């Protein structure tokens, strides 16, 4: 019995040694076979309806194993159409601007529901649907008004004489009341901006929403735009009295230089589809936890190909 | 329903003449250990009774003289003649060992698979489990359950159970009747159950009797050994991963006994010298990794009198994993300590009382606690030129846990041979701590220190239940178990109630085949939040709350069962529908938003699973074992996942095969072998990429766009890993001496060295393109263990 078992164990050891060493060293079971990916059009058109230029981009999708990746489609044609027969087409290589995309100059389009159709050689055409948000305004009696109160606190100034510079830090308290409609969902982006081009290369100017923001459930931070997404939530009273603090920092020559900087708060009315796209991109680009422990995330889309977004916004700059 | 049961019982009872009852306990003759599932069979009347968890039986017959056969697998059966002209109390002792006369009583035995009303219930004798091949020589109860049809493992080497398409939190793990919330050591590669301390283990996958409740998918009932009432004994096992020692013996002979069992791994002791030798190469850096687990079981039982018995049992288990590193550079030094620890502790006090020959009760008071803790602590110290020290300290500690206090009472009542009634009630106070992070910051004397706690507030709830069930035989060929389980949860000023009807039937066909069917509804008030694909102690136990509704299910099953000459064959089909399932939303996980409430990160949905299971099992003889096959489907749907579309559950496994053979070569040599095959796990992979552009500065002209490359996942769980298959083998050589038995156990895990997928990564291939590779982590692993019984 003992001899038989020793013989079998020895034989087995030889077989394993002769067949298993390579697998043990690499640890690779196999490479998963992916089906061939059929490229589709991924469309990005998130545009200010009141702007003089509308920009659209079309890219090809690529399989995860495709080393070339997503490619721009300069020959793509974009058509905006309405049910009343209005139709505008642009695109192709003539309207392509490097570093920008396919530009539609001076559109002057009406409000309402628009269908975007995108066609490109070798791809199935793609469509997406959008309803323009109302024009946002600060005027009394405006249909879609924003009301605001800005309270700048006294700036804190530190002098750095050895560098002949000053460092300024100022808090601006903001109270906003944003419009809401009974029959539609209202979404807004808030983005503080500062004219950083006005400072020299040796200087520095920045504005941001204070991280000590009150935990107002109506406001959600979006790192993608260094701003906030505001929306109605269950239990809240519309979008009244949204309070936040803006923090401005300046490092430069003197206080006059700081006061001369142009600062504003952009209030952007966006569609629900555009809001959903920004939220999904935010979650993908800036996961709040260690992504290994998180469930996989899909980017939102309202395009028929399943990739990209057609979104419309209207904005107003509130000077600070 | 309850009144219907009582009327039914009374009606049956009234139809009988003068009856008397024989009752008592059936125990192991050599140890006094109570035998659960032993049977007393009266061939004259073709009726019998089985012992309950505490070894108690009660058989009521009309007045007369009867031959009784008492039997239990692995024990020599005994025959008695009794003159039943009064109630008789009769304790019976059986001798361990395969009996020559076993074949004689085979036809007369009770509790064969075709006799049992209960379906979908399975048991592997502990003696068989100890002879199965084991990774690292460490026998594991949960892994042995994974070899049964309808029960699947979570991943290579792990001990999690996925029963009939359910998730691990849907398994009620009972250790001496007390729920355990985490049953894993070493990140799930081993379970906390020490086989040397366990007397019995059963798993119920469906057709749940009314006495069980609180989970949707299975009941795993594990009983610790009571302790030897006759003499002092012990067992010690030394394997390459851990050592364990079990001692048992009488405190007062035939009156009271104890059992203690401890186990500790020594991975840390083996690794530390290696790490220390690496540390000596750089005197400025010291690294101190740590990992260990231990568990301890203890039990005392005391026969207070003929009719009363007290049990006290405890369990404590802990895992501690971490890495500490210290670096010195000139006058500064820094240290960092990362750690992950989890622990279980259970305590139970039980009182058995026989109210008479026909009624038995058990009262139980228990406490169960599970804690998880992970975090990092960093400190930096620097000596300035004037010898003043500046310090910086940071600590982030995340903790979660659950603590239960339970009171429970159960009654067994046997009014006549045709009726066996069980009823009882329980109440549990749950205290959940579903994740809180302690942040501590100290920048030195110039700044105020920060010491704050972020995260979800604790939740307490009361869960109460009551049940009644009756197992009876309205016709000669038909047996029924009808019951009702009612439960109620009081949480956050909200009350959830649930009535759960249960039905099981057994109809005997003329040729001995039993047709079985069952229907059961279940409600579950606790949930385990887990990221699919990872089985970590970070998984979070959370309650049903005012906002999170309980999980509910109904399951219907039907099948055939028959035994032939020592072979048991069963075929079952089932369909299970689940609602209120809880999952993280897309993009969420336990590390998401430390100050977010967990309720904001979850979504609820539905699921279904269905399939068929086949089992052929040989329980006696020199060669024992089984062959199991499962064909199954399991799907999920959540509004906020996969665009609201149905998707396969991660552990949806179309085919699952297991073959287990145990063979006694001689008195000294035992051989066992297993082979398993399973369809690959479903997983979500990034499938395509595209570039998108969005406005990032709304103050500009609208042409200032920011571009992103986005990876797009496949549909949820749209891919499959490679199929899983593995063979294991074990050879045991035992040598008996006068007072000891010593055994060498040689095991080989993954005997033909098939690397099975454990995780997948996108990687660069040799020619510059990207590929997705599956990686395995367990090649062939030989091991040896030494065991001594004394």
CB of A246 closer than 8 Å to CB of A219: no
pLDDT above 70 for B566: yes
Contact B591 A294 (CB under 8 A): yes
Give the confidence band of B648 by pLDDT, cuts at 50, 70, 90.
very high
DSSP H or E stretch at residue A157: strand A156-160
CB-nearest to B693 from A44, A193, A264 is A44
Contact A64 B694 (CB under 8 A): no
pLDDT above 70 for A26: no
Residue whose C-alpha is closest to residue A5's, from B39, B669, B458: B669
Q: What mean pLDDT is predicted for residues B654-661?
A: 93
B495 touches chain A (CB under 8 A): no
Residue B269: what pLDDT? 74
Q: Indicate whether B63 and B171 sit together in one domain.
A: no
B64-71: strand order across its sheet: B47-50, B39-42, B64-71, B78-84
Residue whose C-alpha is closest to residue B290's, from B268, B312, B313: B268
CB-nearest to A289 from B583, B591, B699 is B591
Query: Lowest-pLDDT range, B50-54, B65-69, B563-567?
Result: B563-567
Contact B688 A61 (CB under 8 A): yes
Residue A114: what pLDDT? 93
Contact B776 A287 (CB under 8 A): no
Contact A266 B711 (CB under 8 A): no
Residue whose C-alpha is closest to residue B189's, from B152, B228, B223, B143: B143
| Chain A neighbors of B592, CB-CB under 8 A | 287-289, 294
Residue A211: what pLDDT? 53
Q: Which residue of B has its CA nearest to A277?
A: B694
Residue B277: what pLDDT? 67
Distance CA A251, CA A264 (A): 19
- Does residue B711 lie within any of the structural domains? no
Residue B457: what pLDDT? 73
| Chain A neighbors of B703, CB-CB under 8 A | 53, 55, 97, 100-101, 103
Query: Lowest-pLDDT range, B210-224, B249-263, B307-321, B454-468?
Result: B454-468
Q: Indicate whether B75 and B176 sit together in one domain.
A: no
Give the confidence band of A213 by pLDDT, cuts at 50, 70, 90.
low
Residue that wins the pLDDT comparison between B387 and A226: A226
DSSP state of B119: -
Residue B330: what pLDDT? 75
- Does residue B768 lie within any of the structural domains? yes
Residue that wins the pLDDT comparison between B396 and B260: B260
- Does residue B705 lie within any of the structural domains? no
Backbone φ, ψ for residue A274 (5° rounding):
-70, -35
Give the confidence band of B672 by pLDDT, cuts at 50, 70, 90.
very high
Q: Indicate whether B520 and B551 sit together in one domain.
A: yes
- The residues, any chain, with a CB within 8 Å of residue B380's CB and separated by 6 or more, are B332, B333, B334, B391, B392, B393
How many angstroms separate the CA of residue B688 from the nearest CA in chain A?
Answer: 4
Q: What mean pLDDT is predicted for residues B643-665?
A: 90
Give the confidence band of B123 by pLDDT, cuts at 50, 70, 90.
confident
Locate the domains of chain A by residue range.
Answer: 41-131, 147-288+313-319
Which of B702, B708, B752, B760 is best to mutate for the A interface (most A CBs within 10 A)? B702
Q: How far is CA B606 from CA A80, B154, B581, B639, B640, in A?
A: 41, 20, 6, 9, 12
DSSP H or E stretch at residue A24: helix A2-26
Residue where the block lists tokens 């793990």: B173
Residue B239: what pLDDT? 87
In DSSP terms, A95 is beta-bridged to: none
B788 touches chain A (CB under 8 A): no
Q: What mean pLDDT is predicted for residues B193-211?
A: 90
- Does residue B567 lie within any of the structural domains? yes
Q: What mean pLDDT is predicted for residues A195-224?
A: 78
Residue that wins the pLDDT comparison between A229 and A10: A229
pLDDT tens digits, residue range B686-736? 778 899 999 888 876 667 788 888 888 777 888 888 888 999 999 999 998
How many angstroms separate the CA of residue A102 from the nearest CA in chain B?
Answer: 10
pLDDT tens digits, residue range B164-190? 999 888 999 998 888 888 888 776 677
In DSSP terms, A227 is beta-bridged to: A222
Q: Indicate whether B186 and B37 sit together in one domain.
A: no
What is the percent of chain A where pLDDT is above 70?
83
CB of B203 closer than 8 Å to CB of B211: no
Task: Write down the mean pLDDT value for chain B.
Answer: 84
DSSP H or E stretch at residue B123: strand B121-123
Residue A261: what pLDDT? 86
pLDDT above 80 for B453: no
Residue where the block lists tokens 């206090």: B405
Contact B685 A191 (CB under 8 A): no
| Chain B neighbors of A283, CB-CB under 8 A | 586-587
Highest mean pLDDT among A131-145, A301-315, B578-592: A301-315
Contact B589 A294 (CB under 8 A): yes
B666 touches chain A (CB under 8 A): yes
Give the confidence band of A292 by pLDDT, cuts at 50, 70, 90.
very low
User: Do strands B92-96 and B19-28 pair parallel, antiparallel, or not at all (unpaired)?
Assistant: parallel
CB of B751 closer than 8 Å to CB of B782: no
Alpha helices by DSSP H, B139-257: 141-145
Residue B445: what pLDDT? 67
Give the confidence band of B5 by pLDDT, cuts at 50, 70, 90.
very low
CB of B364 closer than 8 Å to CB of B409: yes
Number of domain units in chain B: 2
CB of B209 closer than 8 Å to CB of B118: yes
Distance CA B485, CA B216 (A): 13
Q: Is A208 left (phi over 0), alpha (psi -120 to 50) or beta?
A: beta
Residue B435: what pLDDT? 72
Distance CA A146, CA A241 (A): 11
pLDDT above 60 for A1: no
- Does residue B111 lie within any of the structural domains? no
Give the confidence band of B441 by pLDDT, cuts at 50, 70, 90.
confident
pLDDT tens digits, residue range B499-553? 999 999 999 998 889 999 999 999 999 988 776 544 455 667 888 988 899 999 9
pLDDT tens digits, residue range B460-485? 999 999 999 999 988 888 999 999 99
Give the confidence band of A20 by pLDDT, cuts at 50, 70, 90.
low
**How many beta carbons lie within 10 A of that of residue B284, not counting itself?**
10
Distance CA B168, CA B297 (A): 23
How many angstroms separate the CA of residue B663 from the nearest CA in chain A?
Answer: 15
Give the confidence band of B336 by pLDDT, cuts at 50, 70, 90.
confident
Contact A290 B586 (CB under 8 A): no
Residue whose C-alpha is closest to residue B719's, from B755, B777, B772, B641: B772
Full residue range of the structural domain in which residue B391 is found? 122-681+721-789
Q: Indicate whether B85 and B140 sit together in one domain.
A: no
Query: Lowest-pLDDT range, A72-76, B420-424, B552-556, B775-779?
Result: B775-779
Q: Indicate whether B349 and B490 sit together in one domain.
A: yes
Give the confidence band of B61 by pLDDT, cuts at 50, 70, 90.
confident
How many angstroms separate the CA of residue A147 from the nearest CA in chain B?
Answer: 19
What is the percent of chain B where pLDDT is above 90?
38
| Chain B neighbors of A1, CB-CB under 8 A | 665-666, 669
Q: What's the CATH number where B27 sits?
A: 2.60.40.1120
Q: Indicate whether B299 and B346 sit together in one domain.
A: yes
CA atoms lying within 13 Å on the CB side of residue B417 = 21
Q: What's the CATH number where B591 sits?
A: 2.40.170.20
Contact A27 B775 (CB under 8 A): yes
- State which CATH number among 1.10.10, 2.60.40, 3.30.2010, 3.10.450 fits the domain covering A41-131: 2.60.40
Contact B686 A64 (CB under 8 A): yes
Residue B3: what pLDDT? 42
Task: Write down the mean pLDDT value for chain A.
Answer: 83
Q: Indicate whether B64 and B178 sit together in one domain.
A: no
| Chain B neighbors of A289, CB-CB under 8 A | 588-593
Separation of first and last alpha carbons in chain A: 93
| ipTM reported for the complex, 2 dp | 0.86
Query: Lowest-pLDDT range, A205-214, B257-266, B684-693?
Result: A205-214
pLDDT above 50 for A60: yes
B780 touches chain A (CB under 8 A): yes
Contact A295 B689 (CB under 8 A): no
Contact A69 B691 (CB under 8 A): yes
pTM of the prediction?
A: 0.79
CB of B779 closer than 8 Å to CB of A20: yes
B761 touches chain A (CB under 8 A): no
B599 touches chain A (CB under 8 A): no
Q: Indicate whether B641 and B734 sit together in one domain.
A: yes
Q: Indicate whether B56 and B169 sit together in one domain.
A: no
Residue B7: what pLDDT? 38
Q: What mean pLDDT is predicted for residues B755-778?
A: 72
Q: Indicate whether B74 and B163 sit together in one domain.
A: no
CA atoms lying within 13 Å on the CB side of residue A90 = 18
User: Do strands A101-105 and A96-97 pair parallel, antiparallel, or not at all (unpaired)?
Assistant: antiparallel
Distance CA B219, CA B128 (A): 20
CB of A174 closer than 8 Å to CB of A243: yes
Separation of first and last alpha carbons in chain B: 52
How many angstroms separate the CA of residue B704 from the nearest CA in chain A?
Answer: 7
| Chain B neighbors of A264, CB-CB under 8 A | 699
- Does residue B570 lie within any of the structural domains? yes
pLDDT tens digits, residue range B293-307? 899 999 999 999 888
Q: What mean pLDDT is predicted for residues A150-166?
A: 87
pLDDT above 90 for A118: yes
pLDDT above 90 for B364: yes
């Amino acid at each position: 019995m003992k001899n038989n078992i020793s013989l079998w164990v020895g034989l087995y050891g030889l077989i394993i040694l002769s067949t298993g060493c390579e697998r043990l060293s690499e640890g690779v079971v196999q490479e998963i076979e992916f089906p061939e990916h059929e490229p589709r059009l991924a469309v990005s058109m998130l545009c200010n309806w009141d702007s003089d230029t509308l920009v659209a981009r079309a890219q090809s999708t690529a399989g995860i194993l495709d080393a070339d990746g997503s490619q721009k489609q300069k020959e793509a044609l974009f058509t905006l159409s309405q049910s009343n027969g209005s139709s505008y087409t642009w695109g192709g290589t003539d309207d392509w601007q490097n570093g920008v995309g396919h530009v539609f100059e001076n559109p002057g389009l009406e409000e309402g529901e628009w269908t975007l159709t995108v066609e490109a050689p070798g791809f199935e055409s793609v469509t997406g649907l959008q309803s323009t948000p109302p024009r946002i305004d600060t005027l009394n009696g405006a249909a879609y008004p924003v009301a605001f109160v800005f309270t700048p606190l006294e700036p804190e100034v530190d002098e750095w004489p050895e560098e002949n510079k000053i460092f300024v830090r100022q808090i601006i308290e903001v109270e906003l009341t944003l419009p809401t409609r009974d029959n539609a969902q209202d979404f807004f982006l808030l983005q503080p901006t500062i004219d950083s081009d006005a400072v020299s290369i040796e200087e520095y100017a920045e504005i941001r929403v204070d991280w000590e923001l009150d935990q107002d459930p109506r406001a959600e931070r979006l790192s993608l735009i260094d701003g906030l997404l505001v929306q109605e939530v269950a239990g809240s009273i519309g979008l009244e009295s949204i309070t936040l603090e803006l923090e401005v920092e300046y490092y430069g020559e003197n206080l006059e230089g700081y006061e001369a900087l142009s600062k504003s708060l952009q209030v952007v009315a966006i569609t629900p589809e555009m809001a959903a796209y920004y939220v999904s991109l935010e979650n993908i680009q800036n996961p709040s936890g260690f992504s290994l422990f998180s469930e996989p995330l899909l980017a939102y889309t309202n395009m028929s190909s399943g990739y990209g977004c057609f979104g419309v916004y209207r904005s107003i700059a509130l000077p600070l | 329903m309850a009144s219907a049961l009582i009327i039914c019982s009374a009606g049956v009872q009234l139809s009988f003449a003068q009856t008397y009852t024989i009752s008592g306990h059936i125990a192991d003759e050599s140890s006094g250990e109570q035998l659960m599932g032993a049977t007393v069979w009266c061939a004259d009347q073709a009726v019998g009774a089985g012992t309950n968890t505490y070894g108690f039986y009660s058989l009521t017959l009309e007045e007369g003289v009867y031959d009784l056969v008492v039997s239990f697998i692995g024990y020599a059966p005994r025959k008695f003649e009794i003159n039943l002209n009064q109630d008789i109390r009769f304790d019976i002792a059986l001798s361990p060992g395969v009996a020559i006369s076993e074949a004689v009583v085979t036809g007369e035995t009770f509790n064969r698979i075709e006799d049992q009303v209960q379906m979908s219930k399975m048991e592997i004798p502990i003696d068989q489990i100890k002879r199965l091949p084991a990774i690292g020589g460490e026998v594991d109860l949960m892994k042995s359950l994974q070899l049964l049809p309808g029960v699947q493992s979570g991943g290579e080497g792990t001990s999690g159970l996925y029963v009939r398409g359910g998730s691990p939190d849907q398994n009620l793990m009972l250790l001496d009747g007390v729920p355990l919330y985490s049953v894993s050591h070493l990140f799930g590669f081993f379970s906390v159950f020490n086989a040397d301390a366990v007397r019995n283990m059963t798993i119920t996958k469906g057709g749940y009797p009314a006495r069980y409740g609180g989970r949707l998918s299975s009941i795993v009932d594990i009983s610790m050994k009571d302790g030897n009432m006759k003499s002092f004994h012990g067992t010690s096992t030394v394997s390459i991963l851990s050592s364990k020692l079990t001692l048992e013996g009488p405190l007062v002979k035939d009156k009271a006994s104890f059992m203690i069992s401890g186990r500790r791994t020594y991975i840390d002791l083996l690794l530390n010298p290696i790490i220390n030798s690496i540390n000596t190469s750089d005197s400025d850096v010291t690294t101190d990794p740590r990992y260990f687990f231990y568990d301890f079981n203890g039990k005392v039982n005391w026969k207070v009198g003929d009719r009363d018995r007290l049990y006290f049992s405890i369990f404590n288990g802990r895992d501690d994993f971490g890495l500490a590193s210290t670096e010195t550079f000139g006058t500064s030094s820094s240290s960092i300590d990362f750690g992950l620890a989890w622990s279980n502790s259970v305590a139970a006090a039980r009182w058995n009382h026989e109210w008479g020959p026909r009624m038995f009760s058990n009262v139980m008071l228990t406490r169960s606690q599970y804690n998880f803790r992970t975090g990092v602590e960093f400190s930096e110290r620097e000596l300035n030129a004037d010898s003043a020290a500046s310090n910086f300290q940071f600590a982030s500690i995340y903790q979660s846990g659950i603590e239960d206090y339970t009171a429970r009472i159960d009654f067994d009542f046997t009014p006549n041979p045709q009726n066996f009634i069980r009823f009882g009630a329980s109440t549990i106070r749950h205290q959940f701590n579903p994740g809180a992070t302690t942040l501590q910051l100290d920048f030195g004397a110039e700044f105020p220190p920060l010491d704050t706690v972020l995260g979800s507030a604790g939740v307490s709830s009361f869960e109460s239940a009551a049940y009644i069930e009756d197992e009876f035989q309205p016709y000669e060929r038909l047996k029924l178990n009808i019951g009702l389980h009612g439960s109620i949860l009081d949480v956050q000023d909200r009350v959830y109630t649930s009535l759960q009807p249960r039905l099981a039937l057994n109809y005997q066909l003329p040729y001995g085949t039993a047709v079985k069917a069952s229907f059961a509804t279940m409600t579950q008030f606790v949930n385990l939040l887990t990221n699919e694909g990872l089985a970590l102690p970070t998984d979070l136990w959370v309650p049903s709350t005012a906002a999170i509704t309980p999980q509910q299910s109904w399951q219907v099953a039907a099948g055939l069962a028959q035994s032939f000459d020592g072979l048991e064959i069963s075929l079952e089909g089932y369909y299970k529908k689940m609602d209120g399932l809880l999952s993280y939303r897309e993009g969420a996980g336990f590390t998401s938003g430390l100050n977010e409430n967990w309720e904001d990160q979850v979504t609820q949905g539905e699921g279904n699973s269905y399939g068929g299971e086949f089992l052929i099992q040989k329980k006696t003889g020199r060669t024992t074992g089984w062959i199991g096959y499962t064909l199954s489907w399991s799907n999920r749907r959540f509004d906020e996942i996969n665009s609201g579309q149905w998707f396969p559950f991660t552990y949806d496994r179309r085919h699952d095969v297991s073959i287990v053979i145990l063979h006694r070569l001689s008195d000294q040599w035992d051989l066992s072998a297993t082979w398993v095959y399973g369809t690959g796990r479903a997983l979500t992979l990034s499938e395509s990429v595209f570039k998108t552009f969005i406005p990032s500065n709304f103050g500009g002209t609208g042409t200032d766009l920011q571009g992103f490359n986005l990876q797009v996942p496949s549909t949820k769980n749209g891919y499959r890993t490679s199929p899983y298959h593995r063979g294991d083998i074990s050879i045991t050589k035992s040598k008996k001496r006068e007072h000891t038995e010593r055994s060498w156990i040689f095991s080989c895990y993954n005997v033909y060295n098939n690397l099975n997928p454990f995780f997948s990564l996108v990687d660069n291939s040799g020619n510059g393109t990207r590929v997705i590779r599956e990686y395995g982590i367990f090649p062939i692993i030989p091991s040896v263990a030494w065991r001594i019984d004394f």
